[in-house]
Chain A
């Protein structure tokens, strides 16, 4: 099975509100796939459909080779889920909940459970209502990571964790990747996605707008060039140059990747003192996409 998750043209509406409008998403077996999008883009709805909690209005979804709605119970033995908004039974202790969720899934490894509690500095004897948001999240993470599920669905798993725990989480994901598990990581923390993921899908308004490896996505976009030159240069009118900012002999601009060679030649001819060429971060990709969409939306108004 090459693909752990295959989604084509998925549609879901809640009354008049359209959550998913023909979503496509493919997650390959064994990869860490970052699923990015702003609040309300439809990330959680996608995950809930994949879990068989919601019924899709249209389109197709396959999860681990099965139908997420019909085969929900059978498929759930092979996956673990961390919800974005972790609520726990207030009267149960964290340890009880971890064991309960593990047993409901078909058993968990007590050694790994203990090691993970240690790693995440989680006190399992505390009652759930005494946990902070971050600690509730840790309970769900330990329960998921201590299972031997082949697919992990993580919905914004670090939104309540402190930076140290976030680092611990990243280490854990690295370990899981090495052991061959597939991870779908929904997030809007781009640094996390950039550090962890093999491939990225960006969703907006219920539709997938970009998908691919980071390198592929970068290829489609621009590089930031910042140079100090020996003499003046005119880049006005050079194709592929954007946001040009010239102050004396310092030149800053955004360059389309296919025009990069051309632009650098212009700069070399003027004589380069220092130059940095920075490929776009995921954040820039993300912002560009969203700002552009918003501008379009704004203009059409």
Chain B
């Protein structure tokens, strides 16, 4: 029997289902890279670029965030500033895409319907990988073309495009393997995204370690390989073989597991559950906790490692070589006002705040996925009202994002403070800095509640669009010189750049109030609409 029967039909189905998400994602990543190159070309004089190289080359904070800078050309700066990050965005796209068309379909039972047709056992996996591969190919062509149009050397443009997309392809295959390991799509997604987070951390620690540190860690990370290909600074084409080798290995492993496992089953064994409900599982809040604590724990683990490592890298930022005006300016645009260490730490806290917002949105959107899966109905058919049901997951969003930010502050404080010798002060100051992000994260979550209450069909796409927009505004807004009124839409624009800035209570109170009003409006809308 042919292993690939039905692939054409399934591929068309996949493209039909992703006809909006996929082009949007490809467009955003391309625009990001090309826009960055264009801005670097316009903004920096050759002398300014040399200064940037001198400072960034020795600045652990910048090394941690972006990676190593190998040259002073516009291309090298572009590859440094957004090579790794574009690879991250593309890899997230690949992971979501592959899990969506493999394990998520299998878990929901859709694949059973498809698998009963003239469809080979390996077809869904192959189609998912083929679609991801095609998306990566299109992305590579577009990035290379756009960079060439901006005026960068064609060879380097192709090298950067391939460095980004081969990394993305490798994570598509890692996701394909993760999809075979567990029976739940959520866990599979968590494994693949966790692998991506680990890759970032290995690269970040390796890059910022300095000459005597474990700089070889970068070599272990697929995200590190995108820098090691050195686009525009020597174009080490052979480094592209590393992500391809990872892709092939992971894909072979995924195919081997699919060929052996049962439909619907994972590789990791299933443990039997309790025969009765424990004490916690007695009200909607207990249920929400039960459904979400695993995800929250995963996020918290990511926050611990990420923020501790980022904090540790802060030691040395202050002793920056060649603190030229343009570098300082560049720093203050990204982060704080006073002191480069503070600016760096403020940038880290800003990223933690965005991540906390992403968590809060995912926790709120659990309401949407519960409703879509028909799991709201059994709860709402009991004496539990809609508002209480909704509040149970909103509570996870609010408390969970708060916990994550405290974790971020404490971990970064310990990471930096233990090396700088003043752990106590740093923990206190960075925990405060992290918590200053909380109202902004809650405001994004509140807007998501409005979507869920009033426009449930748009909730998923809308919620994640808001998070992405906030990320883009923080990361790229200053660089792309977005007008202030556009920046003002993002709640994160109004958060004080801590540590280092003076805190005004007013914007934080306004954001908190806005979040509360949005949540109340969303819940009021939920009361009026059809559920299920």
- Residues of A at the B interface (CB closer than 8 Å) are 48, 51-55, 72-74, 76-77, 79-81, 83, 85, 87-101, 103-106, 124-127, 129-130, 140, 153
Q: List 10 A-B contacts (CB under 8 A).
A: A53-B531, A54-B531, A55-B530, A87-B373, A89-B375, A98-B277, A99-B277, A99-B281, A105-B383, A127-B272
What residue of chain B has the Cβ atom nearest to residue A85's Cβ? Answer: B374
A83 to B281 CA separation, bound complex (whole angstroms): 21
Give min CB distance, B10 to chain A, whole Å.
Answer: 24
Whether B273 pairs with A105 at a CB distance below 8 angstroms is no
- Beyond A54-B531, A89-B375, A90-B184, is A99–B382 a contact (Cβ under 8 Å)? no
- Beyond A99-B276, A125-B273, is A104–B284 a contact (Cβ under 8 Å)? yes
Q: Would you give the 0/1 interface string for B362-399, flagging 1 where the beta carbon is closer than 8 Å to chain A?
A: 00000000000111011111111110000000000000
- A contact residues around B374 at 8 Å (CB): 83, 85, 87
A105 to B283 CA separation, bound complex (whole angstroms): 9
Q: Which 10 A-B pairs have the closest CB atoms?
A: A93-B273, A99-B277, A104-B382, A81-B381, A73-B385, A87-B374, A95-B275, A125-B275, A105-B382, A96-B277
A13 to B4 CA separation, bound complex (whole angstroms): 43
- B contact residues around A130 at 8 Å (CB): 270
Whether A53 pairs with B276 at a CB distance below 8 angstroms is no
Whether B380 pairs with A53 at a CB distance below 8 angstroms is yes
Whether A51 pairs with B291 at a CB distance below 8 angstroms is no
A103 to B287 CA separation, bound complex (whole angstroms): 11
Whether A101 pairs with B382 at a CB distance below 8 angstroms is yes
A289 to B273 CA separation, bound complex (whole angstroms): 48
- Beyond A54-B531, A89-B375, is A127–B273 a contact (Cβ under 8 Å)? yes
- B contact residues around A80 at 8 Å (CB): 381
A282 to B529 CA separation, bound complex (whole angstroms): 38
- A contact residues around B272 at 8 Å (CB): 93, 125-127
Picked from A51, A106, A124, the residue with its CB within 8 Å of the CB of B276 is A124
A87 to B294 CA separation, bound complex (whole angstroms): 21
Indicate whether B532 reaches chain A with its CB closer than 8 angstroms.
yes
What residue of chain A has the Cβ atom nearest to residue B281's Cβ? Answer: A100
- A contact residues around B2 at 8 Å (CB): none
What residue of chain A has the Cβ atom nearest to residue B532's Cβ? Answer: A53
Whether A129 pairs with B532 at a CB distance below 8 angstroms is no
- B contact residues around A88 at 8 Å (CB): 375, 378
Whether B273 pairs with A83 at a CB distance below 8 angstroms is no
Give min CB distance, A144 to chain B, whole Å.
Answer: 9
Whether A55 pairs with B381 at a CB distance below 8 angstroms is no
Q: Would you give the 0/1 interface string for B275-297, flagging 1 where the beta carbon is closer than 8 Å to chain A?
A: 11110011110110011000000
A256 to B281 CA separation, bound complex (whole angstroms): 59
- A contact residues around B286 at 8 Å (CB): 100
A74 to B384 CA separation, bound complex (whole angstroms): 9
Whether A76 pairs with B274 at a CB distance below 8 angstroms is no
A79 to B378 CA separation, bound complex (whole angstroms): 12
Indicate whether B183 reaches chain A with its CB closer than 8 angstroms.
yes
Whether B530 pairs with A54 at a CB distance below 8 angstroms is yes
Whether A76 pairs with B277 at a CB distance below 8 angstroms is no
Whether A104 pairs with B274 at a CB distance below 8 angstroms is no
A55 to B373 CA separation, bound complex (whole angstroms): 20
Whether B287 pairs with A126 at a CB distance below 8 angstroms is no
A119 to B381 CA separation, bound complex (whole angstroms): 25
- A contact residues around B264 at 8 Å (CB): 129
- Beyond A55-B528, A95-B275, is A100–B383 a contact (Cβ under 8 Å)? no
- A contact residues around B284 at 8 Å (CB): 104
Whether A51 pairs with B275 at a CB distance below 8 angstroms is no
Picked from A73, A92, A125, A127, the residue with its CB within 8 Å of the CB of B384 is A73
Whether B270 pairs with A83 at a CB distance below 8 angstroms is no
What residue of chain B has the Cβ atom nearest to residue A123's Cβ? Answer: B275
A105 to B277 CA separation, bound complex (whole angstroms): 14
What residue of chain A has the Cβ atom nearest to residue B187's Cβ? Answer: A91
A158 to B149 CA separation, bound complex (whole angstroms): 65
Whether B379 pairs with A126 at a CB distance below 8 angstroms is no
- B contact residues around A94 at 8 Å (CB): 273
A235 to B270 CA separation, bound complex (whole angstroms): 70
Give min CB distance, A121 to chain B, whole Å.
Answer: 14
Whether A100 pairs with B282 at a CB distance below 8 angstroms is yes
- B contact residues around A53 at 8 Å (CB): 377, 380-381, 530-532
Whether A100 pairs with B287 at a CB distance below 8 angstroms is yes
Give min CB distance, A116 to chain B, whole Å.
Answer: 13
Picked from B373, B381, B528, the residue with its CB within 8 Å of the CB of A76 is B381
A89 to B292 CA separation, bound complex (whole angstroms): 12
- A contact residues around B105 at 8 Å (CB): none
- B contact residues around A81 at 8 Å (CB): 378, 381
- A contact residues around B184 at 8 Å (CB): 90-91, 129
A75 to B208 CA separation, bound complex (whole angstroms): 62
Given contacts A72-B380, A95-B277, A106-B383, 6 further A-B pairs with CB under 8 A are A73-B383, A79-B381, A101-B379, A125-B274, A125-B275, A129-B107
